[in-house]
């Protein structure tokens, strides 16, 4: 199935634009799970089981799994196996390298693990992203305007009257012949998000920065979705997966995820002004 249709289908079916970020830190998961062989997987499995009817996507932050050492490969493999096939899976590793290396990343993320999509960094330009884009049934989310405070260091530099991040948008439009490119725009920049959505009316936009990073949910939703009320993917990580540090973590993750989904739906109601 085409990448963009997979997103729309699950957003309609689960009536949700919510993505849960599985930034599962081995030091923050309940002590009772740490005895098992793959603690991050056990944690993820329970979160997924408790929230899979409330989300359109799960995003795995690869750094947190790499930091856990040798369980890395098996933890990601098992986590992906426990996600229903109609939900979008995003490998968040912000990769980017010369072509022959980018091909190795694709081999790992798309061929071996079968992630639907990956986040990539635009700094090195088209040839570093092309091996990802070539895969028509997979997608890439190109870092455009990130949610962190230091996004101002380079992303706002103006060249030819346009900030760098707008140059990234323009190139992304130009490269999108397979209709499988999305953008990453942080929720901490809602005015810019509005402008970017006007430039890409039909591209998926992955929006992190809600919750722990305190981006504004209301304007993020209003400016993020397309005319059908779809294609914004609102990511919340720590705010949901660590809603409770006790053994009720999965139930509390469900409660918090349901609240986020409902708030998002409230703001995307076409009658809401």
Catalytic annotation on 94? yes
Residue 183 in tokens? 């953008």
User: Cβ(147)–Cβ(187) under 8 Å?
Assistant: yes
* Binding-residue pattern over the window 219 to 258 for a second copy, x denoting contact by CB under 8 A: ----------------------------------------
Interface with a second copy, residue 213, by CB under 8 A: yes
> What residues between 169 and 198 interact with a second copy by CB under 8 A?
171
Tell how far CA 131 is from the center of its chain: 19
> Of residues 1, 12, 67, 173, which one binds a second copy by CB under 8 A?
67
| Intra-chain end-to-end CA distance of the chain, in Å | 35
Phi-psi region for residue 53, left (φ > 0), alpha (ψ -120 to 50) or beta? alpha
We find the least distance from the C-beta atom of residue 147 to a second copy, in angstroms, to be 7
Going by C-alpha positions, the residue among 46, 109, 102 that lies closest to residue 76 is: 109
Segment 2 to 21, residues that bind a second copy, using CB under 8 A = none
Smallest gap from residue 245 Cβ to a second copy (A): 16
- Is the dihedral angle over the CA atoms 14, 15, 19, 20 positive or is it negative? negative
Q: Residue 53 has which token pair? A: 């009817």
Q: Does 105 bind a second copy (CB under 8 A)?
A: yes
Residue in 6, 45, 52, 94 annotated catalytic: 94
Structure token pair of residue 74:
């098996």
Decide: is 81 part of the binding site for a second copy (CB under 8 A). Answer: no
**Contact of 179 with 241, CB cutoff 8 Å:** no
Q: Give whichever of 61 and 190 is closer to a second copy, judged by the CB atom.
A: 61
101 contributes a contact to a second copy by CB under 8 A: yes
Helices (H) and strands (E) in the chain, counts: 11, 10
For a second copy, the binding residue among 8, 78, 167, 194 (CB under 8 A) is 167
Binding mask 128-147 for a second copy (x = CB under 8 A): x--------------x--xx
Q: How many CB atoms lie within 10 A of CB 164?
A: 16
172 burial type by CB count under 10 A (0-12 exposed, 13-18 middle, 19+ buried): buried
Part in contact with a second copy (CB under 8 A); list of ranges 36-44, 121-129, 214-222, 263-271: 121-129
CB closer to a second copy, 148 vs 202: 148
Residues that bind a second copy (CB under 8 A): 23, 25, 61, 63-64, 66-67, 69-70, 72-74, 94-102, 104-105, 107-108, 112, 121-128, 143, 146-155, 157-160, 164, 167-168, 171, 213
Please list the active-site residues: 94
């Amino acid at each position: 199935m085409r990448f963009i249709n997979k997103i729309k289908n699950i957003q309609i079916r689960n009536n949700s634009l919510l993505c849960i970020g599985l930034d599962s830190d081995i030091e923050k998961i309940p002590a009772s799970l740490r005895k098992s062989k793959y603690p991050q997987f056990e944690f993820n499995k329970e979160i997924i089981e408790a929230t899979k009817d409330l989300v359109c996507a799960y995003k795995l932050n690869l750094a947190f799994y790499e930091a856990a050492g040798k369980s890395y490969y098996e933890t990601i493999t098992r986590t992906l196996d426990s996600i229903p096939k109609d939900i979008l899976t995003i490998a968040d590793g912000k990769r980017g390298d010369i072509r022959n290396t980018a091909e190795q990343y694709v081999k790992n993320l798309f061929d071996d693990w079968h992630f639907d999509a990956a986040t990539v960094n635009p700094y090195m330009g088209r040839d570093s992203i092309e091996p990802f884009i070539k895969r028509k049934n997979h997608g890439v989310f190109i870092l455009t305007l990130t949610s962190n405070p230091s996004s101002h260091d380079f992303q706002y530099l103006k060249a030819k009257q346009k900030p760098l991040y707008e140059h990234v948008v323009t190139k992304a439009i130009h490269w999108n012949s397979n209709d499988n490119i999305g953008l990453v725009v942080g929720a901490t920049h809602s005015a810019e998000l509005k402008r970017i959505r006007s430039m890409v009316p039909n591209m998926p936009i992955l929006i992190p920065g809600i919750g722990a990073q305190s981006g504004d949910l209301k304007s993020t939703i209003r400016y993020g979705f397309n005319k059908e009320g779809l294609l914004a993917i609102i990511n919340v990580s720590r705010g949901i997966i660590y809603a409770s540090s006790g053994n009720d973590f999965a139930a509390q993750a469900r409660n918090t995820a349901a609240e986020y989904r409902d708030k998002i739906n409230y703001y995307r109601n076409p009658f809401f002004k």
